[in-house]
Every structure is written in structure tokens, then in C-alpha cells.
């Protein structure tokens, strides 16, 4: 079963999910101790609590909270690089997410047979040479026993099909 919840761009006045990065005009929802800023309650319902916590931790620039969302043997694939285990994930997150003040403004959430796919606008202080003004990345979360076991972050291109 696939549940897909598109979220309009804030530039068009639509709803988005936003973390703790100070986005005004959003409603705060709580679920099992996880808080997300959203103006679309149905999108929140589709977001697994551990993914919501991950996004909130990214937007709060909190390395420990981000790493705590991963299982010990988890991996991240980012920009065609494989980062295995929480020690390597910690170093990666500290430098390339927290260090570059990366934020995620969620635009769409899809529950695809239990895997969570999140499309989000990424922003931060990283080098933006040759990147579009609005960088939309897709994060594919594999979840087992309430922890992230795999995360692939991909800059997808439109499909011709």
C-alpha cells in the first residue's frame, strides 16, 4: 500500500511540514513525544515518529538527536557515498548537516509499503554552486524496530515516463 501526501510549496501559500528552524505560521502537533511544525495534520499522520524526530533533530542542528534516530548498524547513502554505522554517521552528520546548518522543509511524504519517502527543500550554508535555487531532495527511510536502518538522500531528476 502506498499513501502519498503532497504538500504545496510555501511560495504558493500552501502547507508544508517544518521542523524547529523557526518557520512562522505553522501549527505544532505532538505524537508520541515527537513534535513537528505543520499546517497539514494528514501529512503528520503519515510520518513515522522516528522520521519526524529525525527531521526535527536536523532542523534543530542537534547531532546527538540525529544519530539517536539510527540503529547501530545503519547506513546512509548521500551523494553516492555510503556511510556505515553510527560512528561514521555521527562524523558525517556533524560536518555536513549540523556544520552546514542544513534544514529540511518537507513538501511530500509517501508511505511505500512501510518505507517512508520524504521530499523536502534543503537549505543551509553548504556550497550551492551549480545547485537550483530551490533544492528538493528525496530521502528514502528504511525503518525497523522504531529506528532508521537505512537512509538514502538523492537529488532526483524528473522522469520522462
3-class secondary structure per residue, 1-59: CEEEEECCCHHHCCCCEECCCCCCCCEEEEECCEEEEECCHHHHHHCCHHHHHHHHHHH
Predicted confidence at residue 44, as pLDDT, reads 55
Question: Whole-angstrom Cα distance, residue 110 to residue 3?
Answer: 5
Q: Which 8-state DSSP code applies to residue 126?
A: S
pLDDT tens digits for range 37-96:
443 455 555 688 999 999 999 999 999 999 999 999 999 999 999 999 999 999 999 999
- Asked whether residue 67 is assigned to any structural domain, the reply reads yes
pLDDT tens digits for range 103-120:
999 999 999 988 999 999
Q: Say which residue, 32 or 81, is predicted with more confidence.
A: 81
- Asked whether residue 159 is assigned to any structural domain, the reply reads no
- Asked whether residue 30 is assigned to any structural domain, the reply reads yes
CATH number, domain of 47, equals: 3.10.450.50
Lowest mean pLDDT among 13-27, 39-53, 75-89, 124-138: 13-27
Beta strand 103-112 with 2-6: parallel, antiparallel or unpaired? antiparallel
- Asked whether residue 22 is assigned to any structural domain, the reply reads yes
Q: Domain limits at 13?
A: 2-154
Domain count, the chain: 1
Amino acid at each position: 500500500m502506498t499513501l502519498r501526501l503532497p504538500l504545496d510549496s510555501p511560495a504558493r501559500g500552501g502547507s508544508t511540514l517544518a521542523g524547529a528552524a523557526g518557520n512562522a505560521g505553522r501549527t505544532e502537533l505532538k505524537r508520541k513525544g515527537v513534535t513537528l511544525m505543520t499546517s497539514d495534520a494528514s501529512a503528520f499522520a503519515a510520518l513515522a515518529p522516528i522520521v519526524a524526530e529525525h527531521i526535527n533533530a536536523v532542523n534543530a542542528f542537534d547531532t546527538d538527536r540525529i544519530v539517536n534516530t539510527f540503529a547501530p548498524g545503519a547506513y546512509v547513502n548521500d551523494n553516492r557515498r555510503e556511510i556505515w554505522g553510527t560512528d561514521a554517521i555521527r562524523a558525517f552528520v556533524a560536518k555536513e548537516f549540523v556544520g552546514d546548518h542544513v534544514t529540511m522543509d518537507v513538501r511530500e511524504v509517501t508511505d511505500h509499503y512501510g518505507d517512508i519517502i520524504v521530499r523536502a527543500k534543503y537549505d543551509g550554508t553548504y556550497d550551492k554552486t551549480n545547485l537550483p535555487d530551490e533544492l528538493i531532495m528525496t530521502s528514502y527511510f528504511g525503518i525497523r524496530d522504531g529506528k532508521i536502518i537505512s537512509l538514502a538522500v538523492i537529488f532526483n531528476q524528473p522522469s520522462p515516463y
